[in-house]
Structures are given as structure tokens and as C-alpha cells.
Chains A and B, each alone.
Chain A
Amino acid sequence: MIRRAPRSLGEHAPILFPALMLVVFFVIPFGLMIAVSVARRIPGGFYEPDLVLANYERFLSAFFGGVLSFSLELAALVAVVAVGIGFPFTYRLARLPRAAQVRWLVFLLSILSLSEVIIGFAWSTLLSRTAGITNLLVAVGLMAEPQSLSPSFGALLAGMVYQAFPYTVLVLYPALARLDPALVEASRTLGASPVKAFFTVVVPSQRNTIVATLIMAFVFALGCYLLPQLLGRPQHWTLSVLITDQAIYQSNMPFAAAMAVFLVLVSLALVGLSLLFGRKEEA
């Protein structure tokens, strides 16, 4: 079997089905969304094809500016916290015996695949008055009576970090699992303490991985669409929530699509940047 360029139609045949499916059900919907973003809205929930920029002009409003800057700041905060905890954790994880690693990975994957609905419900229960952790504080005498901690900014941040943490660990895991142990051994032989070796050898050697992971966690947090509704207050709504709200409840597809196009551009630019940093590491 020689690996050469395919020539006949028969040799190309296997890729026809996947290519067709991806073009019809991903490229076309994507194109349609861009078309809808410049469509003209007709009051009553419909829109007709046009080429107007009115939907994009709404970006200039103070309300949209507020939502956008809050979304970006929140995603950045979530990414920093998740990577800050996730990096030392993953470094240790990759050095555990194999069986223990597998147990952690199963646990992390299970949490990662949980629906946002379930994470939101679980955290609002954990922070509620009747079933929440404040009951525990009351029981040990640190608090007079149980109180509800959700909805609040803290609850939202906790829920989003909870969701982003397993993702962050799994993005960091390949790089840290392949980290050459000789690097740390050398610094230890030369007299560095384990903590010093971690901060002066491991962290600098993984600088690009850390930057790339920060960006990936940032994009992941930007995509969070339900937790701000379940754990936050209306002023904590993010761009993703606003898009859903405009599309479903306000029936304003053109504006929702325009915001989605904007979100795509931001995400793509960031993913491109993270690939650039990831590549530097390999070189």
C-alpha cells in the first residue's frame, strides 16, 4: 500500500460523505448565520434578507458595551483562577502512579461532561439556605443561622471555575505528562528545593503552554451560557446569555446573529493566538 495522492473517483469516494455532511450541516449554517446578521428585522419576530448594518450598530450602545466588558473580565478572571489552581494540580497529577492518574481522569471527565443545567442546579443547591454549606457553618457555630449565598457574583464565579477547571487540567495534561523529568532532577541535584524547582524550572519551561491554556480557558468561559442565569443576577449576564435571550425570547435573530458573528471573530482570533503559542513550545 503506497501512500500517494488519491487519483480516481473511487479513491476519493470515502471522503465524500464526511465532506458533504460537514459542508451542508456546518459551513452552510455558519454562512446562513452571517447572512441573518445583516438581515432586516420585521417587527413580530421575522426577518427578511437584506444588507443592513443596523444590527452591528447596536454594538455601540452603552448596554452592549457593558455586557461585553463584563463578559471579557469574567472570562479572564475564570481563566486565571482555573489555570492558577490547575497548573500545579496537573503537574502533580502527571507524576502520580498510572492507576491513580486514571481514577482522577475519569473523575475530571465526568465533571467536564456534566450539563451546565446540572452544574447550575448542583451549585445553587450547595449554596442554598436549606441544603447549603452555611448549614455546616451553623453546625460548627461559626454562623448564627443558615443563609442563601446564591445568586451572587461569588456563586457565579465558583460555578464557572468549577466548570472550567477539568477542561483546564485536560488541556494542560499532555504537555505536563511529556515534561522531561530530567529537568527537575537536574535542578534538584544542584540543590534547589522542590518548590524552587517548580517555580524556576517547570513554570518557565511551560510558559507558552500556560499562555495557550489561559486563552483556551478564556474562550471556554466565554461560551458559558446558563450559569449566569442560574447563579448570577441580571447584571451578571454575559454575551452568550444575551445571544440566547435575543434569539429565543426576544425573537430578534438578526441581532443575535450579529453578536454571534462578533463572538466567533473574538474566539477565532484568540484560538489562533493560542495555537501560535502552542507551536512555539514544540519548536
Chain B
Amino acid sequence: MLRWLNSLMAGLIGLVLAAPILVVAGVSLNAKRSLDFPPNGLSLAWYAEIFTDPGWRGALIASLVVAALSAALAVAIAFPLAWFIWRWRAPWARAFEVLGMAPFILPPVITALGFLSFWSTAGQYGEPWTVVVSHAIFFVTLPLVTLSLGFGAVDRSFVEAASTMGADDHTVLRTVVMPLVRPYMISGFAFAFVLSLNEYIVAYMVAGFTLETLPIKIFNALRYGYTPTMAAVTVLFVLLTAAVFGLIARFGDLPRLLGAWIKPD
């Protein structure tokens, strides 16, 4: 009886979580330019429009480029920091780790406003590349967390063995540490990539009037009425996001990345 109730609860929660996406997926198949559910006739035309309409295609490309570059920059900032904290006994370096965590914990509008003040003071307001830097800082938390976990999982006796055999720091990093932390680095990149793809407020405040990423494009389009193309873009985004996390789960240890591990005694 209780087992049955538990499954019912989980099923119900799953259904409510999926419901908005399912309705949007249905709407995206409408044959006519209307938001009906169940769909009024079936068509994939709205999916084609994402790739043929210059506005939507441009926004898609802008989003992908910003996400890839900013995730790479976030990893480039997080890796040396996480390595340094792991390699050296330097408690003061933790202060930078806290700085790296802060943008993620504080309400996003604060970071967005900080960047708006910064880039307009620096005279760079509206430059597309400022979005890349802003997103890299905003999402540096994710590679920082995954890489800290990764370095923490490296068995120090491997490192001892390598350095006893005469390997210097650089060789140890390249031949021993790097292969062990690579999955964590890739997960950190993937997390930052997906979140940058979906990010709205920072991108909007920093360069909303010059660079249209997909979330900004959807928001701008919302004001002129809803179209099935927006629904198609949403479905595309959900699938892309789920695929990335599916890959992380396939090649990495997702429960561990999310903090569920038993401390070895």
C-alpha cells in the first residue's frame, strides 16, 4: 500500500514537471499559426523555421557560440584555481574560491546589474564579447565545484609515486592528475555550457540591444504574441539540455557530482 502510494507520488510529480513541456511540444506541431492543444493538424514547419528564418538561426548561433566560449573561459579560470588549492597549502586562496561561488548563490539580477555598471563604465556596453566574459564569471562556480571534487578524488599516493620516480610538477599534472580529473573538467564545461545557453538576465543587461541570444529572442517575441516557433525552440532547448546531462550521466558519475558519496573511512 505504502509502496504504491510512493510510486503514485513520484509519478504525479514527474507528470507535473513534464506537463508544461509536453503541452509546449504539442503546440509546436500545430499546422496553423496558432497555439492549440491538442494540435490542430500536424506539421514540423516551425522546427524548420528555426533554421531557415535568419532571426531565429542567428539567435541560435549566437547562443551556441557564447555558451561554448564562456564555458571554455570558465574552465580556464576554474582549473588553475582548483589545482592551486589542491597542490599547495594556501588557506588564503580559499578566498578566491568563495569569490567564484558567490555569483551563483546571489540572486542573478545582482550580478547582472554589477556587469551593467562595469561594462558601461568601461565603455564596452553592448559589445558581444562582454557577454562571453560575463557568463564565464557568472558560471565559473560549476567547473570550480566539479574540478574541486575531481582533485579531491585523486589518490595522493599516485602523485607520491610519480614524484618519487623523479617527475616534476608539470609532468605529474600532465601524466597523472590530468587523466584523472578530465571527466570532472568535461562535466564542469557541460554544466556551464547548458546554463549559459539558457541564461537571460545577464546577457540581456550586458548586450540585450545588440546581441540577441535565444532566450532574449524568445522574450522579445513574447511581446508580439505567441507563435509555434517559440514552442519549437523550447522543445529543441529541452532536448539539447537533456542530451548534455544524459551524456554526463553516461560518461561520468552524476550522483557523485551532485554530492552523494560516502566518505571513505
Which A positions have Cβ atoms within 8 angstroms of B?
1, 3-6, 11, 14-15, 17-19, 21-23, 25-30, 32-33, 35-36, 85, 88-89, 92-94, 98, 101-102, 105-111, 113-126, 128, 130-133, 135, 162, 165-166, 170, 173-174, 177-178, 194-195, 219, 222-223, 225-226, 230, 240, 243-244, 247-248, 253, 256-257, 260, 263-264, 267-268, 271
CB distance from A154 to the nearest CB of B (A): 14
Taking a contact as CB atoms under 8 Å apart, the answer to whether B24 and A122 are in contact is yes
A19-B81, A116-B200, A260-B109 known; 6 other A-B pairs, CB under 8 Å?
Answer: A33-B113, A101-B255, A126-B23, A165-B17, A223-B106, A267-B107
Q: Is B174 an interface residue (CB 8 A)?
A: no
Measured CA separation A223–B104 after assembly (Å): 11
Contact A223 B108 (CB under 8 A): yes
Interface flag for B205 (CB, 8 Å): yes
User: How far in angstroms is the closest Cβ of chain B from A239?
Assistant: 8
B19 interface contact, C-beta 8 A: yes
Write out the residue numbers on chain B whose beta carbons fall within 8 Å of the beta carbon of A248. 204-205, 208
Indicate if the CB atoms of B117 and A115 lie closer than 8 Å. no
Identify the closest chain A residue to B160 (Cβ).
A1
Distance of A256 Cα from B118 Cα, bound (Å): 14
Which one of A15, A165, A271 has the greatest number of beta carbons of chain B within 10 Å?
A: A15
Q: Are B109 and A225 in contact (CB under 8 A)?
A: yes
B89 touches A5 (CB 8 A): yes
Chain A min CB distance to B77 (Å): 5
Q: Mark B96-113, 1 if CB is under 8 A from A, else 0.
A: 100110110111111111
In the assembled complex, which residues on chain A have CB atoms less than 8 Å from the CB atom of B88? 3-6, 11
Flag if B117 contacts A243 (CB, 8 Å). no
CB within 8 Å for A247 and B116 given contacts A117-B218, A126-B19, A219-B105: yes
- Which residues does chain B contribute within 8 Å of A194, judged by CB atoms? 2
B183 to chain A, nearest CB (A): 15
Smallest CB separation, A8 vs chain B (Å)? 11
- From known contacts A32-B114, A115-B237, A244-B109, infer whether A174 and B81 are also in contact, taking CB-CB under 8 Å: no
Using known A-B contacts A14-B80, A178-B260, determine if residue A125 contacts B198 with beta carbons closer than 8 Å: no
Supply 30 A–B pairs (Cβ within 8 Å), ascending by A: A3-B87, A11-B88, A14-B83, A18-B77, A26-B111, A26-B137, A105-B249, A105-B254, A106-B249, A107-B14, A107-B242, A113-B241, A114-B237, A115-B200, A115-B237, A117-B215, A117-B222, A118-B215, A121-B226, A125-B24, A126-B19, A166-B17, A174-B259, A177-B255, A178-B261, A194-B2, A248-B208, A260-B114, A264-B106, A268-B106
Chain B residues with Cβ below 8 Å from A3 are 87-89
Query: Which residue of B134, B205, B241 has the most chain A CB atoms within 10 A of its CB atom?
Result: B241
A35 neighbours in B (Cβ, 8 Å): 117
Q: Is the CB of B117 within 8 A of A1?
A: no
Q: Does B93 contact A (CB under 8 A)?
A: yes
B231 within 8 A of A: yes
Contacts of A135 in B (CB 8 A): 37
- Cβ of B44 within 8 Å of any chain A Cβ, yes or no, is no
How far is A114 from B21 in the complex, measured between Cα atoms in Å?
Answer: 11
Contact flags B1-30 to A (C-beta < 8 A → 1, else 0): 010001001100110110111011011000
A85 to B10 alpha-carbon distance, docked (Å): 10
- Complex CA–CA separation, A92 to B112 (angstroms): 37
Q: Does the CB pair B245–A109 fall under 8 Å?
A: yes
Cα–Cα, bound, A261→B230 (Å): 35
B101 to chain A, nearest CB (A): 10
A115: min CB distance to chain B, Å: 4
- Quick one: which of B93, B112, B241 contacts A15, CB cutoff 8 A? B93
Q: In the assembled complex, which residues on chain A have CB atoms less than 8 Å from the CB atom of B103?
A: 26
Q: State the CA gap A276–B215 with chains docked (Å).
A: 36
Complex alpha-carbon distance, A92 and B23, angstroms? 28
Structural contact, B159 and A1, CB atoms closer than 8 A: yes
A264 CB contact (under 8 Å) in B9, B110, B121, B219: B110
Cα distance, A255 to B107, chains bound together (Å): 17
Rounded to whole angstroms, the CA-CA distance of A248 and B36 in the bound complex is 34
Partner of A110, one of B16, B137, B208, B238: B238
Q: Which residues of B contact A271 (CB under 8 A)?
A: 105
CB contacts (< 8 Å) of B56 on chain A: these are: none
Tell me the bound Cα distance from A1 to B20 in angstroms: 54
* Complex contacts, A18 vs chain B, CB 8 Å: 77-78, 80-81, 84, 96, 100
Chain A residues with CB under 8 A of B20: 119, 122-123, 125-126, 162
